[in-house]
Copies of this chain bind each other. A is one copy, B any other.
Amino acid sequence: MSSISIIGTGNMARTIGARAIAGGNTVEVMGRDHSKAADLAKTLGGGTTAGEWGTAPAGDIVIVALLYDGVVPVVAQYGDALAGKVIVDISNPFNSTFDGLAHTAQTSIAQEAAKVAPAGSSVVKAFNTVFRHILEKGRPDVFIAGDSAQAKAGVEAFITSLGMRPLDVGGLKMAHWLEGAGLVTVGLANHGVGNLDFALGVTELPA
């Protein structure tokens, strides 16, 4: 079982928190508005605590559950409070037409977060190809990318505790292409699949 902290008190924080508790993990939530974090902790139950914004998270794995443009500033704001932590970026920096990323350079929110994260921390991209309502109840494949094998092993154990299948796609540079896979997922929902009741994943197909 993992000890996780969730930065954010919105829908994704609630969804991941609920599954984390159901999976037997220890959960802390942190919000700019402490009363919202306290409310969410109460809603989640299972011993969830509410931490103070900007202080060292209690969890070994810190999931940043914010809109994409909040991720890098908040990692920078936390600064050394994140030393030694595994920081998980779940964001999707989509443009307004859902056919490109908000950053035109070949980077990702995860890579940018890694640039401002403190020494000894490690950033992992995860969960961004899975729609929230599938995360709520489904058992999807969860793609992850990161440069630290140890950090990825921790995130994989956490994902497995949620009843989902973690699938490593490589180093943190691949986070850019996972953000692209997020766009492909939305494209499938709007075109070839036509609904949201699916996940991108791996199908075993012996040749």
A171 to B184, CA, bound (A): 11
Q: Shortest distance in angstroms between A70's beta carbon and chain B's nearest beta carbon?
A: 24
Flag whether A173 is at the interface (Cβ < 8 A). Answer: yes
A178 to B183, CA, bound (A): 10
Q: Most chain-B Cβ atoms within 10 A of its Cβ — which of A106, A137, A178?
A: A106
Whether B180 lies near A177 (C-beta < 8 A) is yes
Whether A197 lies near B192 (C-beta < 8 A) is no
Inter-chain contacts of A170 with B (CB < 8 A): 98-99, 187, 190-191
Query: With A174-B99, A176-B180 in contact, do A197 and B188 touch (Cβ < 8 Å)?
Result: no
- How many identical chains are in the complex? 2
Interface size on A, residues (CB 8 A): 50
Query: With A133-B207, A205-B134 in contact, do A183 and B174 touch (Cβ < 8 Å)?
Result: yes
Interface string of A177-207 (1 = CB under 8 A from B): 1101101100110111100111111111111
Interface-lining segment among A22-30, A50-58, A138-146: A138-146
Whether B192 lies near A167 (C-beta < 8 A) is yes
Whether A184 lies near B169 (C-beta < 8 A) is yes
Whether B191 lies near A198 (C-beta < 8 A) is no
Q: Shortest distance in angstroms between A110's beta carbon and chain B's nearest beta carbon?
A: 13
Whether B204 lies near A197 (C-beta < 8 A) is yes
Whether B183 lies near A177 (C-beta < 8 A) is yes
Inter-chain contacts of A166 with B (CB < 8 A): 192
Flag whether A136 is at the interface (Cβ < 8 A). Answer: yes
Flag whether A60 is at the interface (Cβ < 8 A). Answer: no
A145 to B181, CA, bound (A): 14
A18 to B84, CA, bound (A): 54
Q: Shortest distance in angstroms between A188's beta carbon and chain B's nearest beta carbon?
A: 6
Flag whether A80 is at the interface (Cβ < 8 A). Answer: no
Beyond A98-B170, A100-B106, A100-B173: 9 further Cβ-contacts under 8 Å? Answer: A138-B205, A170-B190, A176-B180, A177-B183, A197-B205, A197-B207, A198-B202, A200-B201, A201-B203
